[in-house]
Amino acid sequence: MDKEKINEFDFGIRSKTLNVVIPDKEGKLMEVEERLSAMPIEGPVPIGIVAKFIVDFNSLSENCFGNYCYKELIIQSENSKSMGIVFDSFYLSENAEFYIVNEEAHYLQGPIRAEYVSSPDKFISALMPGDKLKLLLVEPVDERGKSSIKGSKVSHGIVDFHGAGIAREDCNFGFNCSAECNNNVNCFSDYQTEANAVCLIVDMESGPNIMYYGSGSLINNGKQDFEPIILTSGHTAPNLYLDHLQFVFHYRSPQCSPNTEGPLSIWVQGAQTLGNTVAETDLNC
């Protein structure tokens, strides 16, 4: 199913809307704002809050048309600049597909199929702009009810990573918020290979109720067997619970001038630590 087909399922027609309720939301957001504006920032950079949010697709009603059955759900976290979802169960039947679309339908994650999900017991969706996401499960009629999709958490981001026009005017982080000393790597032709190895790191699970981000670089290993290794700072992932970390590659402006938002389409989830942080250098692999 392509994006045009997804757009045929208009918001609110057959979808159930669930609002994210965050206890002491304003207080928690203020704490993140204060930590984000403090310079220098000690530890990983906070970019939002994470709230408990239980949803089970098996409890949703379905609509069947022709050879397929559809289950739809809208999740809204008011005034969020970006959203992501943590799934404790993401088991798709053999031919089922799952889509996540933002309200304006200009960001689409999918089709997600069973063979694409390496960690079905802890699958985390890519961050998407806005404060409303539409989730769509598509199952063949003869596989209806065989998928198990259960969400446990939703992130409410205060940073605009997408250049979607929802960033703060005084922002310090996010698209178009680089410091004066930062340079667009695409203005330096000699560094394109190295730039391909740089990744944005998103962490929705380490801190209590807070979402973080940092950066790292993909490096070669001594065996020369192409097994990927990420080198990052120790404070980016201080707790070393790495199975939930997300690595976003090619997040950069595709051109030198003018700057435009980078793609957020290449996400890799999960890693294992190879050793402890080197205290003298704050490096970690």
Residues 127 and 196 in one domain: no
* Contact (Cβ atoms closer than 8 angstroms) between residue 101 and residue 126: no
Indicate which CATH number applies to the domain containing 141: 2.60.120.290
Domain total of the chain: 2
Fill in the DSSP letter of residue 195: H
- Distance in angstroms (rounded) separating the CA atoms of residues 54 and 88: 10
Residues 125 and 14 in one domain: yes
Residue 170 forms part of a structural domain: no
pLDDT at 130 over 90: no
Residue 164 forms part of a structural domain: no
- Distance in angstroms (rounded) separating the CA atoms of residues 262 and 230: 20
pLDDT digits (tens, 9 = 90+) for 213-236: 778 888 887 788 878 888 887 666
Domain enclosing residue 277, as ranges: 185-284
Residues in Cβ contact with 18 at an 8 Å cutoff, skipping those fewer than 6 apart: 53, 55, 73, 74, 75, 76
Residues 151 and 216 in one domain: no
* pTM as predicted: 0.78
24: left (phi over 0), alpha (psi -120 to 50) or beta: left
Mean pLDDT of 84-92: 93
Residues 106 and 7 in one domain: yes
**Mean model confidence pLDDT for the chain:** 78
Residues 150 and 23 in one domain: yes
Q: What pLDDT does residue 168 have?
A: 46
Indicate which CATH number applies to the domain containing 273: 2.40.10
Query: What are the E-state strand segments in 123-195?
Result: 123-124, 128-129, 132-140, 148-157
Q: What pLDDT does residue 159 have?
A: 77
* Cβ burial, residue 96 (10 Å; 0-12/13-18/19+): buried
pLDDT at 142 over 90: yes
Return the closest-CA partner of residue 232 out of 4, 44, 29, 28. 44
Residue 163 forms part of a structural domain: no
Residue 179 forms part of a structural domain: no
Residue 174 forms part of a structural domain: no
| Dihedral in degrees, nearest 10, Cα atoms 27, 48, 212, 51 | 80
Residue 147 forms part of a structural domain: yes
Residue 169 forms part of a structural domain: no
Please tell me which of 4-18, 155-169, 189-203, 243-257 the model is most confident about, judged by mean pLDDT. Answer: 189-203
Percent of the chain with pLDDT over 90: 19
Residues 109 and 21 in one domain: yes
Q: What pLDDT does residue 277 have?
A: 57
Residues 201 and 127 in one domain: no
Residues 227 and 148 in one domain: no
Mean pLDDT of 90-118: 89
pLDDT at 79 over 50: yes
pLDDT at 255 over 90: no
Residue where one domain finishes, among candidates 140, 157, 174: 157
Percent of the chain with pLDDT over 70: 73
Residue 45 forms part of a structural domain: yes
pLDDT at 95 over 70: yes
Please tell me which of 11-20, 26-35, 261-270 the model is most confident about, judged by mean pLDDT. Answer: 26-35
Residues 8 and 149 in one domain: yes
Q: What pLDDT does residue 275 have?
A: 64
